[in-house]
Structure 1
């Protein structure tokens, strides 16, 4: 019996030894020896392999298990850091049909800077941007989420908007925007009546559509928030919400007793930290997000100190879009010394609100305001400046990154697909030489970008950037003739 059992075991072992190993699974891209960053937790896991098929991450596993895959392309990250690609949650495309091509040519500039997705907060090329969203103008374009044309009042300063003067107009605007399949709705305050602003926010919420807005000076921030507003664009509105006299100042503005600039200074003069904390706690309860766009406002505030004429980034922006900067530059140049001092003061008070919002649990969305009209606010480049400002003002690098790569997708209902380096997520990744959790400036030190599953290494990104510069030079030469 013992002999029989020994023989049986030997046969079984021989059969196991001769069984062929499973064939490696074929994929498109294998990134080996990466340190994977979990932005939600701040954890970094070294010696990882990321397997990509098509536009999807199919596995993240230790290097020792990587042999289960064979890839069309394998790339050794050599310990570099891999995280989700950046999202810029407030950009603009525009300048009219004549500048549509210049806007399209800027798309790769986002990707060169590690920005894989943008939220377009309205301009005057709404249908064009919707077309780009569904059919990117180049393979090297970021993903686009867009509001389409924004809702405004009658005869506003902005072009390409939907003008509304009645509730029926607002209803028609919402119908139109839904038919366009916009990703959210943008509402601004140039000529829109305060009561119609609130009506638009309430009706959009009933329809299940997120709203993003400039809040009319004649309303309090909580009035807008409690109507159902999803996100407040620009940090100065959050500062306004911290005024102990917000309601009275809003009433004065509605009555025409003070200009916009005077009203903003009054809000800054009456800013109260305890009022701000209570108000921000309520915003957090209501789930209202804030997109600071701090870099854009800082550039405009301090144009008296830096005219940006020597910015190297100007080489990547076409002459037509650069010409749209003139409107804001000329307005800033007309300011008196007293107006400039007031502008600086309001910006300084406004900047203090960022850590207060964080402490209250308000969702912060990293956005730049980059694009046409907004002087020296360069697509792609500016997001690195924005994140660095957040850290300078008191956020941790992880919190700054979360505002871009986690809370950005989550706000747009894309959290299941984006926000982490893990199986089942989109293969839109940023590969960095240094750890951005230790130094936020590491986001600029890019070794590669994975866009829709396609690896763009440093050499490819450099060629893309050079190509953008050459196209701009060509446009400049043509304009000079």
Structure 2
């Protein structure tokens, strides 16, 4: 009698939903502590189910049995964060360095960086190719968002620019950039007039394009923010907004009546924190973000204390790229004791603005400025250095994580698919051996990186690094012949 009733009981369980067949997934990360980078909450004992490059679900580990995975990762004791974004990198140095620049892509991935924002160089045709190839999975590396060549004036010192001198040429340049489907527009002021820079910001905004720029000394933060600039690259541009001499000294620099070092001294002497906070609040109201790029600035500011020539990480940087470092090194070497003191002070004063900017509501984007020209500012590990400096100079570990995850995704308009760990979003994540909310240095302790649903464990990440080192060794040997 009991045996005859068993099939009926099973049928009843199936009808009531108490027995389920396992759902197929590509990857199942079991028993991780998920970090919610928006709230700062730790969600312990979670299973992350991944299918077709997307997060299908994040559930309590007790419910993981509902999934049958092609690959399972035991993440007990690990912390899951979204893939990191480096929001300011460069590829460049001329066609002879295309291969050396391509070698940098695995460095980013091996350090948990699943997206980079390329802020212009002279290898845009190659970068466009890499953007497509990394998106399709044909090339190993992070998702690339690029400005293409940046907008500049005639005879700029920077290689690969789109040089303009009139609004008609500006329109043509923007047409060209839109034809390349750039992800944002980069504008700098080496020879570009302030008037054309503002026009470029406004016109790009009308076309629905994000803008990123250096701020000419003769323009105030209010002027570029009101024009609609989306991001200011480098924190030192924000310092002068705290001084009533912001405009007058900036215009004096433009006329050649004073150099920027002496102007900075006067801005510092007249700096008023209340004035600065008001300016930053207006910047936040206008929606202008700031990418501090502390790491690159600090390396150069303190070359007198550490020349970096014996850095172990140089084994990953090709000889041609290393050679591009020399111009900043040689320039810094000419500074006397007073100039060295002043560059230390300028860095420290600029970096100290971080808490004011954060408290004023300005969006902070974590970016390194790594790539060619920028001495010993290394692709990959440099972002972890940057996060360390962000915390050292006033952000909390959570705010630093936000700057390197959700803030970047929001800035580029991809917060619906990236930046946090949620069902439906891209399966880009990093498993850490320690809690980054407790100590931001934990971002260096990477166990596994998942990019578009593909898991790269520590052994595969180490193999990537070893491969890059071998390629660079070959390039160095060839360079010596």
Query: TM-score scaled to structure 2, two decimals?
Result: 0.96
Aligned residue number for residue 308 of structure 2: 308
**What does 1:178-217 correspond to in 2, within 5 Å?**
178-217=178-217
Q: Report if aligned partners of 2:352, 2:394 keep a CA contact under 8 Å in 1.
A: no
Deviation at 1:22, TM superposition (A): 3.2
Aligned residue number for residue 242 of structure 1: 242
Is 1:329 the counterpart of 2:329? The answer is yes
- Structure 1 gap ranges (5+): 1-8
CA distance in 2, matches of 1:65, 1:151: 53
CA distance in 2, matches of 1:374, 1:429: 28
Aligned residue number for residue 55 of structure 1: 53
Aligned residue number for residue 86 of structure 1: 84
CA distance in 2, matches of 1:66, 1:327: 55
Aligned residue number for residue 25 of structure 1: 23
Query: TM-score scaled to structure 1, two decimals?
Result: 0.96
**What does 1:76-225 correspond to in 2, within 5 Å?**
76-136=74-134, 139-225=139-225
Aligned length: 473
> Residues 352-399 of structure 1: CA distance to partner in whole angstroms, max 9, x if unpaired?
111000110100000010001000000010111111111111111000
SS at structure 1 position matched to 2:460: helix
CA distance in 2, matches of 1:202, 1:292: 23
Deviation at 1:342, TM superposition (A): 1.6
> Residues 129-154 of structure 1: CA distance to partner in whole angstroms, max 9, x if unpaired?
11111112864300000000000011
Aligned residue number for residue 437 of structure 1: 437
Aligned residue number for residue 465 of structure 1: 465
> Residues 287-317 of structure 1: CA distance to partner in whole angstroms, max 9, x if unpaired?
1100000010000111111100111111110
Aligned residue number for residue 34 of structure 1: 32
CA distance in 1, matches of 2:26, 2:301: 47
Deviation at 1:239, TM superposition (A): 1.0
Q: Report if aligned partners of 1:92, 1:122 keep a CA contact under 8 Å in 2.
A: yes
Aligned residue number for residue 70 of structure 2: 72
Is 1:382 the counterpart of 2:378? The answer is no
SS at structure 1 position matched to 2:404: helix
- Structure 2 gap ranges (5+): none
CA distance in 2, matches of 1:189, 1:262: 20
Residues 345 and 456 (structure 1 numbering): CA distance in 2 closer, same or farther, change over 3 Å?
same
Q: Report if aligned partners of 2:133, 2:139 keep a CA contact under 8 Å in 1.
A: no
CA distance in 1, matches of 2:139, 2:25: 20
Q: Mean Cα displacement is larger for which, 218-227 or 357-366? A: 218-227
Residues 11 and 209 (structure 1 numbering): CA distance in 2 closer, same or farther, change over 3 Å?
closer
CA distance in 2, matches of 1:188, 1:329: 22
Moved over 3 A (4+): 9-15, 17-22
CA distance in 2, matches of 1:303, 1:72: 50
Q: Report if aligned partners of 2:35, 2:80 keep a CA contact under 8 Å in 1.
A: yes
CA distance in 2, matches of 1:254, 1:474: 46
CA distance in 2, matches of 1:454, 1:163: 41
CA distance in 1, matches of 2:209, 2:286: 15
Residues 272 and 26 (structure 1 numbering): CA distance in 2 closer, same or farther, change over 3 Å?
same
Deviation at 1:166, TM superposition (A): 0.9
Q: Report if aligned partners of 1:268, 1:350 keep a CA contact under 8 Å in 2.
A: no
SS at structure 2 position matched to 1:144: strand
CA distance in 1, matches of 2:85, 2:351: 22
CA distance in 1, matches of 2:325, 2:352: 27
Is 1:292 the counterpart of 2:292? The answer is yes
Q: Report if aligned partners of 1:81, 1:433 keep a CA contact under 8 Å in 2.
A: yes
SS at structure 2 position matched to 1:371: coil
CA distance in 2, matches of 1:470, 1:254: 47
Is 1:16 the counterpart of 2:9? The answer is no
Deviation at 1:91, TM superposition (A): 0.4
Residues 11 and 218 (structure 1 numbering): CA distance in 2 closer, same or farther, change over 3 Å?
closer
Q: Report if aligned partners of 2:13, 2:19 keep a CA contact under 8 Å in 1.
A: no
> Residues 203-250 of structure 1: CA distance to partner in whole angstroms, max 9, x if unpaired?
111111110000111111211111110000000011122222101111
> Residues 15-46 of structure 1: CA distance to partner in whole angstroms, max 9, x if unpaired?
41577943212111111011111011111111
CA distance in 2, matches of 1:17, 1:220: 70
Is 1:252 the counterpart of 2:248? The answer is no
CA distance in 2, matches of 1:150, 1:197: 12
Aligned residue number for residue 231 of structure 1: 231
Deviation at 1:268, TM superposition (A): 2.8
Deviation at 1:470, TM superposition (A): 1.1
